Amino acid sequence: MRGTHIRHRRGAVPALIVTVLAAVATVVTVGALRSGGDGTAAPAAPAEPVRRPWQVTLHVEAAAGYVVTTGVSDGARQTLTVQNLRLGGSEGTYGGEVTAFPPGTLDETQFRTGEDIRDLSYLTTFTFVGHAAGDTKPWRGPAVGRRDPSGAWIVVYADTERADGGISRSDLLRLAAAVTLGPPRDLRLPIHFGPTLPADLRLTYVRWPDQRIDRRAAALGFSSADREPSGAAVYPGLPPELDVAVLAGARDAAWRKTRTTLTGATRVAGLPAWYSPGARLTVEAERCVVTVESARPRADLEALIESLTIGDCADPESWIPPLG
């Protein structure tokens, strides 16, 4: 990763920073081995591939005419946002959302009343508990569901606010047919943490945006290991119940405008910074703006910045996994 490497200043990192092992998701094996008449064991159903908190195992076949513009790992849940390249010029148009729910984490009873199309179930009205993180009003709309051989459920649907006039039944079915679970792949960000993290927190949320189309900030979040993922349909912002959120964005025109409104000027790791008590710490690096949002003490937020390698937010080709 090219960019600014922030070195620790002596005595600047508080005692709460300790070595932590990267969390690894538990492999869930569906079914049990049964002994056959010849004494051999029948093979178990394939398990969902193991993935780390900054990885996804959802894949969309490029040949189907889609490109992934956003990848989210939220605890046990993972979601992709796609563009449909068959419509709307070189960048296409909004193509829908794809979410994978591990076995036992989705109320699949809704799909029992759906229209069966091969191994897919089409519903004219599928319900999420919310539209975006923190919403109390349920989200309802067409969706296609499929149980993967691993036992996970894959659900394809559209953000009604982005899909002007909705997405057709045939396009939802085409997208669903193009989705598989495969080998884990990294969600890469312009920031990287060293081998130390807060002792009581785990990385439970990562958002990777394709900067060619989705120009929102890259983000990650720390919380207790047992935090439940968001039950909302889409991720326009951070999910609830994160203890610490870290966002990284480019030093663009929007930042230059925001910079003039900030108060609490200071310096952290030798960089210009602005601190709002009990809310956030913003740091301006050479090629990136990093914001830590948390109600934790200021020393904790500065310690996180001290532990970072900050790269180039405007050069996605240089991005790397946030941990490891």
Same domain, 270 and 247: yes
Alpha-carbon span 248 to 35, nearest angstrom: 53
Domain's final residue, options 184, 214, 247: 184
Residue 107 is assigned to a structural domain of this protein: yes
SS3 30: coil
Same domain, 196 and 163: no
Alpha-carbon span 268 to 188, nearest angstrom: 25
Q: Indicate the number of domains in the chain.
A: 2
SS3 88: coil
Same domain, 145 and 171: yes
Same domain, 162 and 191: no
Distance of CA 94 to the CA centre of its chain: 18
Residue 11 is assigned to a structural domain of this protein: yes
Domain that holds residue 308: 4-22+187-318
Alpha-carbon span 321 to 316, nearest angstrom: 12
Same domain, 155 and 221: no
Same domain, 175 and 192: no
Q: How does pLDDT run along the chain (324 residues), one tens digit per residue?
A: 544 444 333 333 333 333 332 333 333 322 332 233 344 444 454 555 678 999 999 999 989 999 999 999 999 999 999 999 887 666 788 999 999 998 888 888 889 888 999 889 999 999 988 888 777 788 889 999 999 998 999 999 998 788 876 789 999 999 999 999 999 999 999 999 977 777 888 999 999 998 777 888 999 999 999 999 998 899 888 998 999 999 999 999 999 999 999 999 999 999 999 999 999 999 999 999 999 999 999 999 999 999 899 999 999 999 999 998
Return all residues near 56 (Cβ < 8 A) that are at least 6 apart.
Answer: 71, 72, 73, 78, 80, 184, 185, 187
Same domain, 166 and 225: no
- The number of CA neighbours under 13 Å toward the Cβ of 273 is 21
